[in-house]
Structure 1
Amino acid sequence: MNIWVDADACPVVIKDIITRAAQRKQLMTTFVANHRISIPPSPYLQFVQVEAGFDVADNLIVVRASEGDLVITQDIPLASEVIAKGCHAINPRGERWTKENIGARLNIRDFMETMRSSGVQTGGPPALNQKDKMHFANALDKILAKA
């Protein structure tokens, strides 16, 4: 199993949890972003910087991820694509996306996008809190334990 991180919007605290887990489990982990991010030196961690543009990082992850890999992303369409390839997918709050629930999540996302396009103020998600961090760490550990 390899870990792929959609790092453009990944909170630093989540990135830190991922790097510790990757080094502990000795799993190759790739952070993909269109801007420079720092990662600690490790044979298990790498950073790939892509050019700026819509879904450039997502597209690279979809192309390179293989069945059984783990993708960490907030992007629901990206999660849907990698799930179709047989990958695991979780978001930085620890929500696991599966074949059974990704369709409903895409529908909600599309509905909210339509609302925003028509001028309705929907607001963003609440700030990441300690409970979210623990939920993510537990979800990550659960997936890695099965690997």
Structure 2
Amino acid sequence: MTLFIDADACPVKDECIRVAERQSVPVKLVCNGGIRPPVHPLVETVYVTEGPDEADKWIAERAGVGDVVVTGDIPLAAKCVAAGARVLKHDGEALTEANIGNVLATRDLMADLRAADPFRQGGGKGFSKADRSRFLDALDRTLRAAARQS
């Protein structure tokens, strides 16, 4: 069992490491660079070559049954769910076989709407303390469930 973190724009890296340490789960922080690697025996920072989606490809090739992936990238989440991994978004929302199709379709629809209307950009809600708290609880539960599965 491994906790994979799509680390380039992840607002919950520290929280992931805290929860993983409590449960003795190895962590792979995967990024294109630009983050300071934590000095921790359970954490390995993986730097991939620069280029679009290289970190996503690296995670998708390795994540599988018994692993947990933290990402905000919906196409990566879909690949990981298909491979049998458990996936969490940064706000603690679990992405599963039951909901990944709808989440992917909504993402595509919103991308189309933004492309059709140049004035409809951004506007998403900020990352709150409640999101962080919800994420911590969800990650703790998800890692325990993955450990039971392994």
Quick check: TM above 0.5?
A: yes
For the residues of structure 2 that align with 1:89 and 1:34, how far apart are their CA atoms?
21
The aligned length equals 145
For 1:79-94, list aligned pairs within 5 A: 79-94=77-92
Give how far 1:40 is off: 2.7
| Partner AA of 1:112 in structure 2 | M
Task: Report 1:39-50 matches (<5 A).
Answer: 39-50=37-48
CA distance in 2, matches of 1:126, 1:41: 32
2:65 aligned with 1:67, yes or no?
yes
2:130 is aligned to: 131
Q: Distance in 2 between the 1:62 and 1:52 partners?
A: 16
Structure 2 Cα separation of the partners of residues 108 and 51 of structure 1? 30
The superposition leaves residues 81-114 of structure 1 with CA deviations (integer Å, 9 ceiling, x where unpaired) of: 0000000000110010000000000000000111
| CA drift at 1:36 | 2.9
Give the letter aligned to residue 61 of structure 1.
Answer: I
CA deviations on 1:47-68 (whole Å, 9 max, x unpaired) are 0111221111000001111211
- Give the match for residue 49 of structure 2: 51
Describe the superposition over 1:110-134 as per-residue Cα deviations: whole angstroms up to 9, x where unpaired.
Answer: 0011111113414242111110001
Q: Unpaired segments of 5 or more residues in structure 2?
A: none
Structure 1 contact 36–49 (Cα < 8 Å) conserved: no
Alpha carbon RMSD of aligned pairs, Å? 1.2
C-alpha displacement of 1:41: 1.6
Distance 1:118 1:72, change over 3 A: same
**Range that drifts further, 99-108 or 40-49:** 40-49
SS in 2 for 1:48: strand
Query: Aligned residues: percent identity?
Result: 39
Deviations 1:14-45 (A, max 9, x none): 11111111111111100111123123322210
Q: Counterpart in 2 of 1:5?
A: 5
TM-score (norm 1): 0.93
Q: List gaps (5 residues or longer) in structure 1.
A: none
Three-state SS of the structure 2 residue aligned to 1:71 is strand
The TM-score, its normalising length taken from structure 2, stands at 0.92
Q: Secondary structure at the match of 1:4?
A: strand
Correspondence list, 1:1-40, <5 A: 1-11=1-11, 14-40=12-38
